[in-house]
Structure 1
Amino acid sequence: MNRRNREWLRPWEATIPPPAPAGPVAQRPTYRQMVRHLRSEANAGRMLPFVIEYRGQLAGQLTVAGITWGSMCSGHVGYWVDREVAGRGVMPTAVALAVDHCFRTVGLHRIEVCIRPENGPSRRVVEKLGFREEGLRPRYLHIDGGWRDHLVYALTAEEVPGGLLDRWHQARSGPPRK
């Protein structure tokens, strides 16, 4: 699936920046190293990696990362979806499920999603779910060979007392009939 989606995801996936003149050369981790890192961070309570399935097939990935405890109790969400299932409500549903898990089970208070301004489909995911746009982070992440600006979207537990999945289902079904 990665090969099939490589060109479609390339403009949005993080890349390793070039090394500083006196710094070490960073290399893209192997798949095994990536899995080891995800497990280590999850075991330490700093990350929640999820696989997304659609009709029994791998359809994407969602990760709640940068989990911070103490007075902050927050994390940020990153995700990607297979081009073959994009536009079918898979990603908004996955984000809603993950956010509900973070708020109701894990005990986080705030979730952020940072998205490149030109990534319209990803922005629509969080806008459909009612995330609030908070501003711009200039040159926030190294993506596709350069430091790219990102819009910050956020949501707190108080904003979705009935759960984000319930709000998403209500938004999809439209206003109640009279």
Structure 2
Amino acid sequence: MPHAWPLTLSDAELTLRPLRRRDRRAFEMLLVRNREWLAPWEATDPDRSRGRPSHGELLRWAEREGRAGRHLNLLLCIGGRAAGQVSAGPIVYGAQSSAAIGYWVDHGRAGNGYAPRAVALLMDHCFAELGLHRVEVNIRPENEASVRVARKLHLREEGIRERFIHVDGQFRDHLSFALTAEEVSSDSAGRGVLARYRREHMSAMGES
């Protein structure tokens, strides 16, 4: 299926877009501010000798993978300001036709519905634009805030994957959630997951 890159997805004040060179200072400040918040949940490389990629290396990787449609790594912006990240990848086509979603939001913005909206936006893109059949999210069971996001979006709980992803120095168990295209009833704009979330949650939050 044709794939558009660079990609921008929006819902009111919430925008998902690729990281840019000029985002470096704001993005690095965001990471520093959220270092302790993210450390227990962020995937890590078991080979410590490789270290964290530079901003330039991250940009080049994201551009290459985004153009190829293998991994969509997007900056989450609220009112134009960097406030987190959301990603889909690895993206597999053909018989498997699936992707895994990852996400995090600035701790100062947490609890305001930005994470579920961002995940819903990207899921809808995966289903409606990429034509994928299945999207999954894998979360450490202890990460209650992230588990709530999956449940708010009606992702189906599929159980524990033991020692599944390297996080904070060890391979950790993760709780898997998934959604398939058959479980989503999309509106005319292809926004089935987001439309359902808005119907069920946004009015309670005082948003139209």
TM-fit CA distance, 1:18: 4.1
2:146 to 99, 122, 131: 122
1:145 to 166, 169, 181: 169
1:32 to 49, 56, 60: 56
TM-fit CA distance, 1:55: 2.2
2:38 to 9, 31, 37: 9
Could you list the runs of 4 or more consecutive aligned residues of structure 1 that deviate by over 3 angstroms after TM superposition? none
Matches of residues 19-168 of structure 1 in structure 2 within 5 Å?
Answer: 25-162=49-186, 163-168=192-197
Q: Secondary structure at the match of 1:111?
A: strand
Q: Distance in 2 between matches of 1:39 and 1:135?
A: 33
Single out whichever of 150-159 and 42-51 deviates more from structure 2.
42-51
Over residues 14-65 of structure 1, what are the superposed CA-to-partner deviations in whole Å (9 max), with x where a residue is unaligned?
Answer: 112147xxxxx43322222122111111122111122111122111110001
Q: TM-score, normalised by structure 1?
A: 0.90
Amino acid at match of 1:60: G
Q: Secondary structure at the match of 2:69?
A: coil
TM-fit CA distance, 1:87: 0.3
Q: Distance in 1 between matches of 2:47 and 2:76?
A: 31
Unpaired runs of at least 5, structure 2: 1-29, 187-191
TM-fit CA distance, 1:131: 0.2
Matched pairs, number: 169
Q: Distance in 1 between matches of 2:169 and 2:137?
A: 21
Over residues 55-111 of structure 1, what are the superposed CA-to-partner deviations in whole Å (9 max), with x where a residue is unaligned?
Answer: 221111100011001111100001111011100000100011111111111111100
Amino acid at match of 1:171: E
Q: State percent identity of aligned pairs.
A: 50
Single out whichever of 48-57 and 124-133 deviates more from structure 2.
48-57
Amino acid at match of 2:107: R
Unpaired runs of at least 5, structure 1: 20-24
Instruction: Please tell me the root mean square deviation across aligned C-alpha atoms, in Å.
Output: 1.3
Over residues 102-136 of structure 1, what are the superposed CA-to-partner deviations in whole Å (9 max), with x where a residue is unaligned?
Answer: 11111111000000000000000010000001011
